[in-house]
Structure formats: structure tokens, C-alpha cells
Structure 1
């Protein structure tokens, strides 16, 4: 299966390249459209013209491949619409939702999932996505919450990626310390994953990430 990534932040190019190291998987291209994320952030929503711009970015990217993997949650409502129309686009946070709910179902009764996000514009798209997967996978018995980690996204928007990772690690550690009753924790945005390397909490290794779920999906794709 040939595929390309569509990112809204340049740092995701390195992230998704690294997670595929050691496998035989490589994208045809990484397309970065930071202007689209900037527009969503400025407007606080996806209006008609912006939706058309996002749709064109997706359809242009998919022209020469079997599938486009969209790594930006904030742009994801347009991907959902296009996928419903038959466009070969997959949300990488959707791959995460599928994987973590499958594991939660296998773990038995009492499972509870909390999805952590950093960007305010991703809260509702992420909630909608995970609620849909929970219903479609028959996982209504799995508790679900989406939690916005305060203050960290402003650091990212300021361009301080190292500060962003440090602030995220601190916020993730604080959440894990206060949430011992949560069986599954996931980071809803791809850009959040690298912060786990700075985490000091022993449960950090058990946190689910978009990049990890994407690697598992791609590696398994030729075995299906």
C-alpha cells in the first residue's frame, strides 16, 4: 500500500519518519500545510472557504497514492466528510482510537479511557471521533473523557518546541499522578508523543500515542 502523510506542523515529518525506522514502510511524501492550522486557530472553526482549502489539500495529496494519512486533529472534520464520499483518507487519531478501544475491550469490565489533548481546537473533533469509535466497536461500557491540558498550546504556537515538550511532560505527569483509576491514557495529538521521553512518571510507558498506533497500522497493512 502506497501512502503519503499530510501534516499541519513541520515537526511531525521527523516524528512519523522516526516511528517507521526499522520497518519496510516509507511514505511517498510528507506534505506540510501549517497555513491551514494557523487559519483554524485564528478562526476557531472551519468555515466554508477554509473547508474547501483543507479538502483540496487532501485530494491533491491522494492523487498518486493509495491512502493519505492526516496527522492533524484540527483539520479532521473535513477528512471525515471526504472519507464518507469515498476519498482514501485516514485520520491517524482514528487509528489510535481503534487500537486503544480494542485493547480496552480486551481488558474486560471497568476499563476507562482518558484522551489528553493540548490544542483547544482539537477538543470537540477528538471527542466526536472517540465517541463514534466507542459506539461502532461496541465499547459503550468503556468510560471515556477528553481532557484539555491547560497552557501548553500557547507555548507550541510561540514556536518553542522544546518548551512545549517540557510543559507537556509536566502536565502529563501531573495527570497520571492524579488518575490512578484510569486504565487507558491516550495522547490525542501526534505532536504530543515526543513529550513522553521527558516524563518522570512510571506509567508514561503505557500511554498510547498517535504515532505508535500509526506504525502498528502500517506494519500490519500488508498482513491483512
Structure 2
């Protein structure tokens, strides 16, 4: 079993390796492709342009020749995974899709936290589709100042900022808090178990493994 992870942040390599280890996957089960330039291009354009989408789709198609499944771990690039459809011959999963399926249970009111503005629109679109089907509700919120900390390399500051936003959300009465981006997952370890948010790496990898084992 070989799963490619398309990242836009180098720090996500360690995050997904840890999630793979927790799932009992072999040490070489993941193939990492890191393209921070794609996210930088979206941030500069302030949207996922057609040109960036095409470049991402071409990269996914190239990766599909080497692996059994592909995870697009950047939520901002998620719509490019949707655009691929079935043409690769291997499953192509958005890292936030399994997360949304897990979070949006009927009757729940969920807060979805993001740290980069370009993630908000694709995250809302994905969660809206699933929430309507599930009879759940959600809100999205940007964690102020967090992305600046990430871009300057202050990962502990980044995680603390997200953890504080999670505690605030629980105090406001949200049933569940979701961390939309894979880069945010480290914040979960700073929170008490009853405040622990849902994170995407474990959910997405588990879904990829399930698909590969049942097909």
C-alpha cells in the first residue's frame, strides 16, 4: 500500500508520518510531495485560480502513476482534488472530506476553525454540502494572527493560538470544534481531552486505508 500526500507545508510531513504510525502503517507507506509554491500562489491571487487548479490537477495525475491513493492535505487546494474525478484510476481524497463526514453528525452545531484566509471558501463549500445531507449545522471562523505565527516558524505560538480559539468556542457552546487544516493538528495535544478538537490527518489516512482495503 502506497499513499501519496500532496502538501503545501513541510511541517505536515511529520504530522502525517505520525498519523500513519498510529494507524500501524509501514514506515514507507507514505510518499510525500511538498509544494509550498502552490499555496503561495493562491495567497497572492487571493483565490484558487484556474491556472493553479490545472497545475495541481497535473501534479495529482503524475503522482497517480506511482501510488495506490492520493491525499491532498492542503484544504485550499481541495477543489483541485474534486476536479480530478475518476480519471486517475486511484482514489484522490481531500484531507478535509473525511473530517467533515466525521464532524457533521445530525443535531450537532460545529465550529470549523481555519488559520489561512484562502481555506475559508473551499472549506465552507465542502462542509455545506455534507451538513445539508446530514441535517447538521456549522460555522467557520478564522483564528486571528495564527497564520503569521506559522509563516514565521513559531509553531508553538501557532498551536497555542489555535488551542485558545478552541477553548473559546467550547465556552460559547459549540458541540464540536474542527481544525480544518492539517497544519493545525498539533494544537490538539495542548487541550484537555474533553476539549479535544477533531483533526484531519488521522481521519483522512484512515479513510484512504479503508478504501484501499475494501476495493
Aligned to 1:211: 201
CA distance in 2: counterparts of 1:216 and 1:54, whole angstroms: 23
Q: TM-score, normalised by structure 1?
A: 0.85
CA distance in 2: counterparts of 1:86 and 1:24, whole angstroms: 23
CA distance in 1: counterparts of 2:179 and 2:113, whole angstroms: 5
Aligned to 2:140: 146
Aligned to 1:24: 25
Aligned to 1:187: 179
CA distance in 2: counterparts of 1:128 and 1:39, whole angstroms: 21
CA distance in 2: counterparts of 1:3 and 1:14, whole angstroms: 15
CA distance in 1: counterparts of 2:159 and 2:50, whole angstroms: 33
Q: CA deviation at 1:184?
A: 2.2
Deviations, residues 89-111 of structure 1 (Å, cap 9, x unaligned): 1101011112223xx23xxxx32
SS at match of 1:74: helix
Unaligned runs of 5+ in 1: none
CA distance in 1: counterparts of 2:205 and 2:57, whole angstroms: 25
Q: CA RMSD in A?
A: 2.0
1:48-197 maps to which residues of 2 (within 5 A)? 48-83=50-85, 88-101=91-104, 104-105=105-106, 110-135=107-132, 138-139=133-134, 141-178=135-172, 180=173, 182-197=174-189
CA distance in 2: counterparts of 1:193 and 1:166, whole angstroms: 11
- Name the count of aligned residue pairs: 211
User: 1:126, 1:188 within 8 Å by CA — same for their partners in 2?
Assistant: yes
SS at match of 1:63: coil
Q: TM-score, normalised by structure 2?
A: 0.88
CA distance in 2: counterparts of 1:222 and 1:123, whole angstroms: 30
Unaligned runs of 5+ in 2: none
Change beyond 3 A, Cα 1:28–1:151:
closer
CA distance in 1: counterparts of 2:18 and 2:100, whole angstroms: 21
Aligned to 2:2: 2
CA distance in 2: counterparts of 1:158 and 1:152, whole angstroms: 10
